[in-house]
Amino acid sequence: MPFDVAAVRADFPILSREVNGKPLVYLDSGASAQKPQVVIDAVTRAYGEEYANVHRGLHHLSNLATEKYEGVRATIARFLGASDENTIVLNSGTTEGINMVAYGWAMENLRAGDEIVLSVMEHHANIVPWHFLRERMGVKLVWVDVDARGDLDPQRVLDAVTERTKLIAVTQLSNVLGTVVDVKTICHAAREKGIATLVDGSQGAVHMPVDVEDIGCDFYPITGHKLYGPSGSGAIYVRAERMAEMRPFMGGGDMIREVHKDRVIYNAPPMMFEAGTPGIVQTIGFGVALEYLMGLGMENIAAHERAVRDYARDRLDGLNWLNVQGTSATKAAIFSFTLEGAAHAHDISTVLDKKGVAVRAGQHCTGPLMTHLGLTATCRASFAMYNTTEEVDALIEALELCHKLFA
């Protein structure tokens, strides 16, 4: 079935609104994607007709909510290509997922002096938890730079591995440069050496089909709100062998089977890692969002976004006063840029906003990458499946105004 962007746009009610008297051009999906009507309806229905706490209730609504909530685990497994739904831990998003790996797996399995290999283009969510281990346990962080095009050579990552390396944690798709990393090569080589791998799928899972078993990673966290689902939803795939090495890092609620004065018996994985009352409705909405994506077909979405990317790249390349960061051949439809003439990214994004174009400005939670690039901030236009080439034109027109105002 061909991808019909007009039909997709019609599914997202917010896209028809105006901002500052101009049609909304939403190019901030890298931060958070808009929600289709099916997700909005699902959330409304869940609160309006199907809500109760999950798992421990014996009444009709609790059973209904539990059924809906637990059904999402299988949906996520299918979306990620995981053959066993018990490898999916439900959580609030990638940040919680990576922190779970840091506290639940790494703290148990790493010692002082052990090394974690990171790329310089990681999001803070895939940096700060490892800094916690550096501060508290003396774990060493080993950084791998990207090249001038913004590519991360898998061989450079593997060259950084030593006998003390216990984990490689890299993004699948840079939220600033748009670079798609060859994580499969890294993960397969790492597994041969017995090194664990975490692939940050926050951006990657949004823009391409994912098969975690084909990638061969041990941990693959995703975030619901970037995948057109509600905020506060997410999950992490944990390979069964690694899950067996983990201890729970948060206590209470669903992760418990029995609690005594002198001992605790935990629930079986994956619920062992799902403490407290979860984001029930958010997760139900997340499941609906993933079903919506799979209905459209991730291959179709990727093809559409490639076409928009190519058009945007051609048009942006024509602006010789614009510095776009990252020129990787694998680049996704994410464009971070600065303007010659030293206008601050915040000023640029403010002017773009007045033209109805929503972009993000700042460091994009990538301090080390900004240092590597020698920048303090950029503007970022991140495209999604509902964006069109006409919206690229609107961005260009607004950028030309910025250039005239600030040059």
Partner 1 sequence: MMQFSAQGMTELTKLVVRDPSTAFAIVKAARLPVPASVMMIALAGVIGGFTVGVLDVLTGTPDVVLEFDDGRTATVERAGPILQAIYATATALALALALLWVGRRLGGGGSAPEVLAAVAVLQLVMTVILVAQAISAVLLPMLSLILMIFGLYVFLRGLAHAVNVVHELHNLARSAGVICLSFLGVIIGVMIAMAVFGLGPQATMLGEL
CB of 353 to partner 1, least distance (A): 8
Q: Does 18 bind partner 1 (CB under 8 A)?
A: no
- Give Dmax over CA atoms of the chain in angstroms: 71
Cβ(276)–Cβ(250) below 8 Å: yes
Examine residue 406 and tell whether it contacts partner 1 (CB under 8 A): yes
| 351 touches partner 1 (CB under 8 A) | yes
- Identify residues 117-176 at the interface with partner 1 (CB under 8 A): none
CB of 61 to partner 1, least distance (A): 42
User: Per CB under 8 A, does 401 bind partner 1?
Assistant: yes
> Is 400 strand, coil or helix?
helix
| Helix intervals (H) in 4-59 | 5-10, 37-49
347 forms part of the interface with partner 1 (CB under 8 A): yes
Binding test (CB under 8 A) with partner 1, winner from 354, 371, 390, 397: 354
**Measured from the CB of residue 342, what is the shortest distance to partner 1 in angstroms?**
9
263 binds partner 1 (CB under 8 A): no
Q: Which range, of 14-22, 117-125, 281-289, 389-397, touches partner 1 by CB under 8 A?
A: 14-22
Residue 219 token pair: 């941990």
If one asks whether residue 376 binds partner 1 (CB under 8 A), the answer comes out as no
What are the C-alpha distances in Å from 37 to residues 29, 44, 103, 289? 16, 10, 37, 10
- Residue 311 Cβ vs partner 1, minimum distance, rounded to whole Å: 25
Pairing label, strands 334-339, 322-325: antiparallel
Q: Minimum Å distance from CB 25 to partner 1?
A: 14
Q: Residue 16 Cβ, how far from partner 1 at the closest point, in Å?
A: 18
Query: Which listed range, 129-137, 160-168, 254-262, 343-351, lies at the site for partner 1 (CB under 8 A)?
Result: 343-351
Using CB under 8 A, which of 2, 21, 318, 374 touches partner 1? 21
Q: Does 309 bind partner 1 (CB under 8 A)?
A: no
| Residue 238 contacts residue 89 (beta carbons within 8 Å) | yes
Instruction: Establish whether 187 is a catalytic residue.
Output: no
By CB under 8 A, name the one of 166, 309, 355, 364 that touches partner 1. Answer: 355
Please give the Cα distance from 268 to 86 (Å, whole number). 10
Residue 243: burial class (beta carbons within 10 Å; 0-12, 13-18, 19+): buried
Cα Rg, the chain, nearest whole Å = 22
CB 27 within 8 A of CB 382: yes
- CB of 22 vs partner 1, minimal distance in Å: 8
Closer to partner 1 by CB, 213 or 353: give it: 353
Structure tokens, 324: 């776009």
Which one-letter DSSP state was computed for residue 171?
E
> Which candidate, 107, 109, 126, 108, places its Cα nearest to that of 117?
126
**Stretch in the footprint of partner 1 (CB under 8 A) among 8-16, 27-35, 220-228, 399-407:** 399-407
Q: Where are the alpha helices (DSSP H) in 175-297?
A: 183-192, 204-207, 212-215, 240-244, 280-296
Among 112, 259, 303, 407, which residue sits at the site for partner 1 (rule: CB under 8 A)?
Answer: 407
The residue range among 17-25, 136-144, 195-203, 239-247 that interacts with partner 1, by the rule CB under 8 A, is 17-25
Is the link from the previous residue into 36 a cis peptide, with omega within 30 of 0? no
* Cα–Cα distance measured from residue 149 to residue 144, given in angstroms and rounded to the nearest whole number: 14
Which residues does 57 contact at the CB level (< 8 Å), separation at least 6?
Answer: 63, 65, 66
Question: Residue from 16, 20, 37, 389 that binds partner 1 (CB under 8 A)?
Answer: 20
**Does position 320 bind partner 1 by CB under 8 A?**
no
Binding mask 322-341 for partner 1 (x = CB under 8 A): -------------------x
User: Is residue 321 part of the contact set for partner 1 (CB under 8 A)?
Assistant: no
Phi, psi angle pair for 17, to nearest 5°:
-85, 165
Q: What are phi and psi of 32, to 5 degrees?
A: -165, 135
Rounded CA separation 372/179 (Å):
15
Query: Which is catalytic among the residues 187, 365, 379, 402?
Result: 365
From 59, 260, 263, 404, residue interacting with partner 1 (rule: CB under 8 A): 404
Among 155, 350, 376, 389, binds partner 1 (CB under 8 A): 350
Q: Which is nearer to partner 1, 298 or 351 (CB)?
A: 351
For tokens 């240092």, the residue is: 371
Q: Does 17 bind partner 1 (CB under 8 A)?
A: no
Question: What is the C-alpha separation between 331 and 181, in angstroms, rounded?
Answer: 9
Active site residues: 365
Q: Which residues bind partner 1 (CB under 8 A)?
A: 20-22, 341, 347, 350-351, 353-355, 401, 404-407
